Structure 1
Amino acid sequence: MTSPADWLAGARPRTLPAAVAPVLAGTGVAAFVDGVPLGDLAWWKALLALVVSLALQVGVNYANDYSDGIRGTDADRVGPMRLVGSGTATPQAVKTAAFAAFGVAGVAGLVLAATTAWWLVAVGLVCVVAAWFYTGGKTPYGYLGLGEVMVFVFFGLVAVMGTTFVLTQTWEWPALYAGVGIGSLACAILVANNLRDIPTDTVAGKRTLAVRLGDERTRYLYAFLVLVAAAAVVAIAAATTWWALLGLVFLGRAVAPTRAVLGGAQGPALIPVLAATGASELAWSVLVAVPLLVRG
């Protein structure tokens, strides 16, 4: 029997900050551009956007577990336990869990679409399709080195700008800049994950971007993404309030994982980097969002 603790581990809770961060950032931008008191902000929409983001993240984690598991990619893992690869849960059960999570995201998304704009349904469907075909289907794009691109687009640009839009029903430049910052750090999480898995992915035929770039250039890519996130803070501050520069304090949290990556950490030594990068992304979103909420 698969225990609740096993299902929780399979949901990969260390990746969930990547789902919370874009909603925080998008809400901060919305509060600033609308200039409304915090009590008048449509917080229920922000909460629904958070449900959508978290459910999609859990869904893609289970979907990845299922697809990699049935392909045998997770047969020899360095990182945390996988439900299918370890035999802890059946492939069908994990697949069902993935679509249940997508269903939760769909219901919350429908409510947002009904109260904002119906074309958001199409955006939601594209998000679910992208989540499934990351490692699912006959030609998963995650195996072609496109995973980072999709993470940047969906867990960065779409998530942040979408949150701002459902709250303001307008398109805002600061939301774009925030999407770039959040997307860069979300990509950094995946880059660190794929850097760790280069040896096993190479054997399994999984041609991730890390496999294509090689070990050294992947490490430089990680550091570059952290710098992009810092540049995005400056762009947001220039477009809103200079108090947003408080977001640069996230670099204090990002120093240790960046040093580990550039220092040549391998295998299990990269596992803490994933959690630290997720914490850096969450810190980025909080430190940027709070000044925007207050000044707004």
Structure 2
Amino acid sequence: MRASLTIREKTIGWWQALNPAIYLISILPGLAIFLLVPLGSSWSPILLATVGVVLIQHGINLMNDAMDWSRGADVEKYNSWVRYHDQSPSRARWHGLLALGLGVAVGVWVLFQAGQLSILAVALPLVVLGVGYNVGSKPFAYSAFSEWVTGVCYGPGVFGCLWLLSRGANPWVGAFGCMSFAALAVAVLLSHQPSQVLTDAMVGKRSFAVRFGVDTTLRATTLLFALSLAALDGAYTVALLPLPALAWVSSIALFTFFSRRRAWNPRVLLLATLGKLVFLEGLCLFGGFQ
């Protein structure tokens, strides 16, 4: 099946493979730091570190596409980066390694400039864990640990390290933030699995949907998105920001709207969370914060 698709489909442009919305999973934790932690004039390290995280995600996405193509998974994925690279997994993999190296370099430079190289003790092992998602004879992406790795990398890995970089003084903000973005990342991962459960099973990928079925996956996605919203509101509340009751009400309304539509997919989850953060920023401005 993969061979017939390879022959028939044309090489695509980079704008078709990019899928900008998916990079929100790396951008949203940075936006949350701007909301939850008073940065004053020290906002540039968070901004640059977020750029580094986006580059790391881009590299890992490319490596994932190359690995899946080589193994026969995601054969229905038209916007694979391998198609952009003339259907060459090797070229896509090198592109990914370049982006990954650049992202790590940006992150190390930011930590050096901020005098916080000690954060590397947390960040680098999690970067290695993320790379292990896509490399080796038994990558995490094909194991029953893929969801756990995703949650750890985006919760404590991305939000947690950004919170440490911001020198946040309230540990509860850090804890709730890590919980929120870990849950969101796993929800995003689960939400795209039902559409490819058959091909995943054929190539031996032990995704959540393969192990537990589509219905259970959709229920888990729903619960994780609810947990993500609740934890984000928890962080907003313990940060002592204005009008916390409205923050919780907005989450209930947002969750009810999308759960009735059963419209769970990565783009919906990420854009809904972006809208939630914009709303919370509006509450801060309306409440006289800053």
Render the CA deviation track for 1:245-273: whole Å, top value 9, x for unaligned: 54443555555553454xxx8xxxx7xx2
- Worse-matched range after superposition: 233-242 or 96-105: 233-242
Distance 1:87 1:234, change over 3 A: closer
Q: Report % sequence identity.
A: 22
Q: For the Cα contact (< 8 Å) 2:74–2:196, is it kept in 1?
A: no
Q: Which residue of 1 aligns with 2:58?
A: 58
Structure with more contact order per residue of length (Cα contacts < 8 Å, sep ≥ 6): 1
Shift of 1:137: 1.2
Q: For the Cα contact (< 8 Å) 1:236–1:244, is it kept in 2?
A: no
Which ranges of structure 1 fall in alignment gaps of 5 or more residues?
Answer: none
1:27 aligns with 2:34: yes
Kindly tell me the number of residue pairs found equivalent between the two proteins.
276
What TM-score comes out, normalization by structure 1 length? 0.82
Q: For the Cα contact (< 8 Å) 2:60–2:96, is it kept in 1?
A: yes
**Residue type of the partner of 1:41?**
S
Q: Distance in 2 between matches of 1:246 and 1:18?
A: 24
Render the CA deviation track for 1:210-264: whole Å, top value 9, x for unaligned: 2111112111101111221232134224412253454443555555553454xxx
Q: Which residue of 2 aligns with 1:112?
A: 110
Distance 1:23 1:92, change over 3 A: same
Q: Distance in 2 between matches of 1:192 and 1:284?
A: 19
Aligned pairs for 1:85-100 (under 5 A) are 88-100=86-98
Which ranges of structure 2 fall in alignment gaps of 5 or more residues?
Answer: 1-9
Q: Distance in 2 between matches of 1:172 and 1:287?
A: 23
Q: Distance in 1 between matches of 2:15 and 2:121?
A: 30
- Give 3-state SS (helix, strand or coil) of 1:54's partner: helix
Shift of 1:128: 2.8
Q: Which residue of 2 aligns with 1:183?
A: 182
Q: Distance in 2 between matches of 1:233 and 1:87?
A: 38
Q: For the Cα contact (< 8 Å) 1:233–1:247, is it kept in 2?
A: no
Aligned pairs for 1:129-208 (under 5 A) are 129-168=128-167, 170=169, 172-208=171-207
Render the CA deviation track for 1:95-124: whole Å, top value 9, x for unaligned: 111111112211211122212322323433
1:286 aligns with 2:278: yes
- Worse-matched range after superposition: 231-240 or 151-160: 231-240
1:258 aligns with 2:256: no
Q: For the Cα contact (< 8 Å) 2:52–2:107, is it kept in 1?
A: yes
Distance 1:68 1:85, change over 3 A: farther
